[in-house]
A and B are shown apart, each in its own frame.
Chain A
Amino acid sequence: MPELKGKKANWLKIESFLMKGRAFIALIFVLIIFTIIVPNFVNSTNLVVMTKHVAIYATLAIGMTFVILTGGIDLSVGSIAGLCAMMAGGFINEGITIGTNTYYPSIPMVLILTMAIGTFCGIINGFIIAKFNVAAFIATLGMWYVARGFAQIRSNGLTFPNLVGRAELGNTGFPQLGAGSFLGISYSIWIMLVFMLVAIFVTRKLPFGRHVYAIGGNEKAARMSGVAIDKTKIGVYAISGFCSSVVGLIIASQLVASHPMTGDSYEMTAIAAVVLGGASLSGGIGSIGGTVIGAFVIGILSDGLVMAGVSSFWQQVAKGIVIVFAVIIDQVQRRLQERVSLSQQVEEKENR
């Protein structure tokens, strides 16, 4: 009998190990599937291209992770990305007009201004949520409209074409951000990596990160423990807004044009990546690493389905199934973990 129990426990341990990183398992799973059914799937060019696509969603999702960890949600990331793309495009093609003077900022200045605008949008989100106690869903839904509206107002709904700048104005070089690379890897991938590392450091090693987790776990208790709730909340939405602005810049730079509908519906992809990465929408649970893996699953799934020639309708079905299924696995895994530790305790007791 004890032998059998031991075997059972081992099987449970293996199962639990398999379930633990649901996003990781899902990632390996989609990789294997597409490697089998798509001839050219695993080659370095394709992997780099896919990683580049993933980088955009992952960058958004990293910002979103902070928000979701506090138990909030940010629906405005796609719109803020769109607004920032338009602002950057406007700075380059039309400059800043004060009175009768038009000033064309240099590209580093364009980047800084644009990121400031995105961060500012996030701060407004956070301020409304923290100070007026408005539900995050509502406040960011408002920003979703407002930012998209301003994106269209900026150019009257038109696209800013050909964002190459002019040498005589000293604002050339914007496309480098999207097209350039370092050590053979595009800047957007480096940006994702840097953001990921910084975010991991912030969540694990800074009081701010702990406060984020504490607010998501139990806001009232965090408040009583002296956590500055308002500041932390404003902080997470600012981070999310900042990440959105960077994504807007990358997209505009890659397209060498900025379009007012840039980033439309990207918030859903970002949220899906976060949830797939193991985060709980009620807050307090989740990790940056998980989110990035989640973004990879979604990105590879998207590209893989295209390469596999699956119809666009079935692509949506497949994505939906994978997201929901991954979350089901997570629930199963939590129960399983309990069972494993129980069986270990039973074993210990019997051995005693």
Chain B
Amino acid sequence: MKKSLLFIVVLALVLTSVAAVSAADSKGLIYVITPSHSNPFFGSEAEIAVAKAEELGYTTKSVVHDDDANKQMELFETAIAEGAKAIILDNAGADATVSAVQKAKDAGIPTFLIDREISEEGIAAAQIVSNNYQGASMVAEYFVELMEEEGTYIELTGRDTDTNAHVRSQGFHDVIDEYPDMKMIAQDTANWDQTEAFEKMETMLQANPDVKGVICGNDTMALGAKAALDAAGKKDVIVMGFDGSDDVIQSIKDGGIKATGLQPVAAISIAAVEQADYYLTNGKFQKEEKQSIDCVLVNAENACMYAKFAPIEGVTSCK
């Protein structure tokens, strides 16, 4: 018994020390809400926003909604109850997020959306996203170039419920469909997931062993597909992804995956925090609500210039 009581005390101390965040001398609290921390994309996004906000003198709380709109709503309510000054949000669904953002607005808290938009305007303080369509078209053009404008290919799309999945697919096809000799022999969703992409790729290879290229809605799926292709001994198949994660950049450097569209995550996160700071200091919005930032094509020629979804300072070439 004594031991278990001791355990309670220890647990309490651990929690206390973990939570020992000093709130003194702060310009206020900024909530950073993202889908998860375990995915490198969302992890970097949150990390960069937190670093920028703390640099500007705010305290921060970085929490995740696991793509659960109800949990996101709970986090908003907690943030409101706690008196947050602003919320930086990568949301859990274009429609399902509207009411949460509205709620924050009603409580006088501006929400700065990053990465994904919501379905209504005039509620959020800003919606800063990467130009998914531009990025996808750019990747598709390079894909066509490497495929030499002909051959069979497979497309792995993102989660059906996610707008970006559709935008990117549209961007791919608006370019590729212009070339009559490019033939899509299979298309399926792998739900943004690496394992699922691996399994789907293995299955598709059974039916289409001669595939020449694979284009994926994001990097994790590209990594999964690439692993399946390597395992099947098909190292020559052209694989491209989207996002610009460090894993894929490494793969590009190693001659694996051919290219990816790098989302300017760092630029987006920093812009959101800076605009929040501007609003909190000056009481008005710095820019119009809808903003998009262009993606960058990363391939073997410039892969060494990028890390953590941002250009590396001082590196200007790969020579």
Chain A interface residues toward B at CB < 8 A: 15, 29, 33, 36-40, 43, 45-46, 49-50, 52-53, 56, 152, 156-162, 175, 251, 254-264, 302-303, 306-314, 318, 321, 325, 328-329, 332, 336
Given contacts A257-B98, A306-B61, 18 further A-B contacts (CB under 8 A): A37-B15, A46-B81, A49-B81, A53-B77, A152-B160, A157-B159, A159-B93, A159-B94, A159-B161, A251-B69, A254-B99, A255-B70, A261-B67, A307-B82, A308-B21, A309-B19, A318-B15, A325-B4
Restricting to B104-150, which residues have a CB under 8 Å from any CB of A?
A: 119
What chain B residues lie within 8 Å of A175 (beta carbons)? 99
**Is there contact, CB below 8 Å, between A259 and B73?**
no
B227: Cβ under 8 A from any A Cβ: no
What chain B residues lie within 8 Å of A158 (beta carbons)? 160-161
Restricting to B76-100, which residues have a CB under 8 Å from any CB of A?
A: 77-78, 80-83, 92-100
**Is there contact, CB below 8 Å, between A254 and B119?**
no
Q: What are 21 of the A-B contact pairs (CB < 8 Å)?
A: A29-B8, A29-B12, A46-B78, A46-B82, A156-B160, A157-B159, A157-B160, A161-B94, A161-B96, A257-B69, A257-B99, A259-B92, A259-B93, A260-B161, A262-B69, A306-B78, A309-B19, A309-B61, A309-B62, A311-B37, A312-B64
B63: Cβ under 8 A from any A Cβ: yes
What chain B residues lie within 8 Å of A257 (beta carbons)? 69, 93, 95-96, 98-99
**Is there contact, CB below 8 Å, between B73 and A254?**
yes
**Is there contact, CB below 8 Å, between B100 and A255?**
yes
B315: Cβ under 8 A from any A Cβ: no
What chain B residues lie within 8 Å of A43 (beta carbons)? 81
Main secondary structure of the interface of B (DSSP, over half): mixed
B1-29 near A? 1/0 per residue, CB < 8 Å:
10010011001100110111101000000
Check A162/B70 contact, CB under 8 A, given A46-B81, A53-B77, A306-B75.
no
What chain B residues lie within 8 Å of A259 (beta carbons)? 69, 92-93, 95-96, 161
Per the bound structure, the CA–CA distance linking A314 and B19 in Å amounts to 11
Instruction: Please give the distance in Å from A267's CB to the nearest CB on chain B.
Output: 13
**Chain A residue at minimum C-beta to C-beta distance from B61:** A309
What chain B residues lie within 8 Å of A310 (beta carbons)? 15, 18-19
